Amino acid sequence: MRSRPAVRTVCLAILGSALLLLAVLFFAQYVTQIGRARDQEVASQLTEVYGQVDQKFIALAERNWNLLEDGALVCALAQQDDRAADYLAQLKQRWKFHNWLFIDQDGSCIDMTGKKGYLDLGQDFYLLTQEGRSVIVEGTLDDAGQVLLFAIPTAPGRFQGFDFLAAALLYDAEALHEVLDDVAYAGQSECLLLDRNGRTLVSFQQKIVDTQDLFTMLAIADFEDADQTAVRTAIRTGQRGDCLFTVPKGSFYLHYQPLGLQDWMLVGIVPQEAVGQHVRQVVRQTTRICVVCALLLLIVLAITLIEHDRRAMLRQKGELAYREKLFDILSANVSQVFVVLLPGDHRVEYVSPNAEQVLGWSRERIQADRDLLAQVEFPDRPGLHWDDLDDLPLGTTDQLISTRRHPETGEQLWFDELIYHIKIGKIERFLLIIQDRTQERRDRIDLMTALDVAEAANTAKSAFLSNMSHDIRTPMNVIIGFLPLLERDADDPDRVREYARKIGASSHHLLGLINDVLDMSRIESGKVDLSADAFVLGGLVERIELIIRPQATAKKQTLRIVTRTLLQEQLVGDEPKLSQILVNILTNAVKYTPEGGHIQLTIEQLPQTAPSRVTTRFIVQDDGIGMSKAYQKVLFDPFTREKTGVSSQLQGTGLGMSIVKNLLDLMGGSIDVESAPGAGSTFTVTLDLRVQEESADPGYWQAQHLHRALVVDAAAACSGDVAGILSQSGLPAVCADTLDDAIVQLDAADPPFDLVLLGCRQPDTNGLLAARALRPHFQPERTLLLVAGDWTPVAAQLRAAGVAGSLPKPFFLSSLKEELRHLREGDAPVAAAPTGGLQGLHLLVAEDYPLNAEIIEGTLELFGATCDLCANGAEAVERLLASSPGQYAAILMDMQMPVMNGCAATQAIRASNHPCARTIPIVALSANAFAEDVREALDAGMDDYLTKPIDAALLEQALVAILAQKRQDPT
């Protein structure tokens, strides 16, 4: 058994431990309550004090709005500027502002003394002048330093000859202090207005924060009950809160809350000793009482503290390592490089890991060679050298703008550099922050470039309008000038016909100019849509030839179309735009080539780099008047024409080549020009076009039982081109330049030839002779005639002589395959028989404008046709529904009409039960000439689309073609 003393000792030990535990628990609870009371009192005080500052600032702003509104009204109504200036001076003396400004719509300003200047308000200027909102803006002035500007929009007024629409009050730091009379802790605190990025806009004391960036100061602060990142996030997101932090100047409470005006934050920084005086007194009194208890615990705590300190050191080292690692991770993804330098020898102690990303040097290289950081230039003022760092006072900051060269690329980079001389405890360091500003500077340069481009565009637009006015007035002068001459010479038919011919030519010129201007306008406004439709290259060339050959024939010019190495003829693209490009170039070639000249269009394709695309070249050559080198530089500018003795006599809009260039840019193509005065011109258009899917058929020739072909043509180049196209498509072909050579090759061929392509210039003579000479040596059903003319008048004779069919020049594989299909199926195409024009036909015309209706009726009478006129689409529908089948041969439909427009009327007709509703031809006559208008009309059920002004020949041609098509295919 244990002795009594031992038991007593154990009991005392247990009792002492229990009392000690109770004392510790009581003291801990007491301290917790005191801490809560302190926190509640601090939070309450800070909220109340800075709530008063907020309200006072709001009151200042509202007073200033009223002052500005009243003052601007007084100055606007004042009869004399001296009285207005005296009134503003009285306001300044009474309300203690720094200056009064009037602002105009351009940002220019004038102060109350009459001094003028320019005020850069940035985005706030738009809010002030355009949205009519009152704004508060911070900035700096040469004569006042940091200022705060209160501005409101006003009614337009005038002060000392200056027209204004806004007024503003300026407060410098001294004026703000005097007006606000800082109410926070009797001037011991510092009150700041910040933007959401922590940048100081206004400081009412500037005793504690000596930098324009609060976050920079907080970056080196220690926080007791908060996290620096959380504080930064709270300020940026406009939250309210407070916390305690420590910097070399001492410990301070930080209070932040949204300002009642603008998107700003109100921040208060209060020394710790100035807050919670009452709680501290209670703590001091109770601390004296608890000293005795604390002494009793001292021995026990001493041992505990030693162990605690040891563990705290380990924990602190872990936290330090964690913070360094976290800082490395964060700094690796920002544009700021952080460098810590030791005082004295200025060795590099630390470099953030993003140094290589921003500066081009790794952190290891910078730590090994600090002079890498000295490879810098300071464009604004002399920069700091290593020896100058020690001259920077402790606790101050220097800011510089610098440029550096990237060590690998040589690119010039721009930076903001901040140098801090800091001391935390006994540790003194230099902190260098290098922030990349290169992109911001590039954005500024890009903005200036865009401004220059816009100014150049305005200048070009003015020139464009001037030229357009001149070119429109020229044909208009002809049209208007001949009208009185027509009245004067009405009894002279010959002169009337001559005047009408000249008026017609000028009218067509004017219409072409208007169409070109509209095309240019749509291209420049981005309203041109490119289609991606399937088309055949041979059909495109055939349609272009139908337009250009009559023009060339009228000037006795030779037009030659040549094909070379065409492997892909079934393409996908915008055929109308491509046709417009080539027609514009060829029309210019005809226009600027004298009579008897030569024009050649060459189509060739480059070797394919991908099976789905092919690069196609269209080369237009002429031996016309040519162009100078100087003019070639502006050839594609709108309204440009070279002024020479010949070209000045030719009509033109000066827009054709500009349209060509813009369309090619939209289509991803290019155009090259080679020319010289008197030596003709060569235009090369290059386009990358998509090939129709499944257009290639490798087994086609075998399926047709064709294995060899002979091309007979006296033009060696032509026969070589055709033979080359056939060979590359999979059908081996050889050439013969003479009939004798062809007969020899036909007789000696082993295996024999399966196809003969016979080239000649005219079918009536050369074709007959050649066919008769070859007939004994080859099968007539496999002989085709390559001819540039029409073989229909002598088709029977040619067939009797041994020709099965004809192919047009230039040669296209698609044409050959189509002709072979006709021969195989026995349905060779026959030219449509003449229809007899419009003689005796009766039409229905819907046109709301009486003069246009009269013109249409008269035009139809020229061709022996009659019509019934309707004033709108609804009346046209009623007329047709009431008519007997076949009463109307066709309908001419205006697009824009009252009651019911052309599209609605067409849809109503097509949907009706009239026997002719689905078959009667309907042709649109409209002043709208854009692709979307044509598409809308065709989608509504119309058969064709003609634009006004009405061309009589085109109207007859379109109606004849549609009526012929309807007779062949009534559906």
**Per DSSP, which regions of 503-636 are E strands?**
533-536, 558-564, 570-573, 598-605, 613-622
Residues 6+ apart with CB under 8 A from 847: 853, 856, 869, 870, 871, 892, 894, 897, 925
Strands 670-675 and 613-622 come out as: unpaired
> Which residues are 350's β-sheet partners?
340
Average of pLDDT values for 528-549? 79
Strands 681-691 and 670-675 come out as: antiparallel
Looking at this protein, which amino acid is placed at residue 919?
T
Task: Give the separation between CA 749 and CA 241, rounded to whole angstroms.
Answer: 102
Residue 950 DSSP class: P
What pLDDT does 649 receive? 47
Task: Give the separation between CA 623 and CA 675, rounded to whole angstroms.
Answer: 10
HSE of 941, CA atoms in CB hemisphere, 13 A:
19
Q: Give 3-state DSSP helix, strand, coil % of the chain, rounded to 5.
A: 50, 25, 30
What pLDDT does 834 receive? 38
**Cα separations (Å) of 695 from 491, 570, 723, 815?**
64, 6, 21, 14
Segment 774-805, tens digit of pLDDT = 777 777 666 776 766 556 666 666 676 667 77
Per-residue tokens: 714? 């006296």
**Mean pLDDT rounded to a whole number for the chain:** 77
* Confidence check: pLDDT of 835 > 50: no
> Which residues are 101's β-sheet partners?
111, 168
Top-confidence residue, 715 or 945: 945
* Confidence check: pLDDT of 397 > 60: yes
Strands 681-691 and 558-564 come out as: unpaired
Per-residue tokens: 445? 């340069």
What pLDDT does 506 receive? 66
What pLDDT does 965 receive? 79
304: Cα separation from own chain's centroid: 71
Of the segments 816-825, 862-871, 928-937, which one has the largest average pLDDT value? 862-871
Average of pLDDT values for 946-951? 79
**Cα separations (Å) of 112 from 82, 86, 742, 751?**
10, 9, 103, 106
Count, residues in the chain: 971
Per-residue tokens: 334? 């920002």
Band of pLDDT at residue 330, cut at 50, 70 and 90: low
> Which residues are 282's β-sheet partners?
none
528: Cα separation from own chain's centroid: 15
Task: Give the separation between CA 588 and CA 621, rounded to whole angstroms.
Answer: 11
SS3 (DSSP) at 415:
strand
Residue 610 DSSP class: B
Strands 116-118 and 108-111 come out as: antiparallel
Band of pLDDT at residue 39, cut at 50, 70 and 90: low
> Which residues are 430's β-sheet partners?
341, 421
Segment 907-916, tens digit of pLDDT = 999 999 999 9
What pLDDT does 294 receive? 59
Number of Cβ atoms within 10 Å of the Cβ of 12: 10
Task: Give the separation between CA 894 and CA 907, rounded to whole angstroms.
Answer: 14
Average of pLDDT values for 164-181? 77
What pLDDT does 145 receive? 65
Residues 667, 616: contact at Cβ < 8 Å? no
**Per DSSP, which regions of 288-365 are E strands?**
336-341, 348-351
Number of Cβ atoms within 10 Å of the Cβ of 632: 16
Residues 786, 563: contact at Cβ < 8 Å? no
Looking at this protein, which amino acid is placed at residue 738?
T
What pLDDT does 789 receive? 58
Q: What percent of the chain has pLDDT over 70?
A: 74
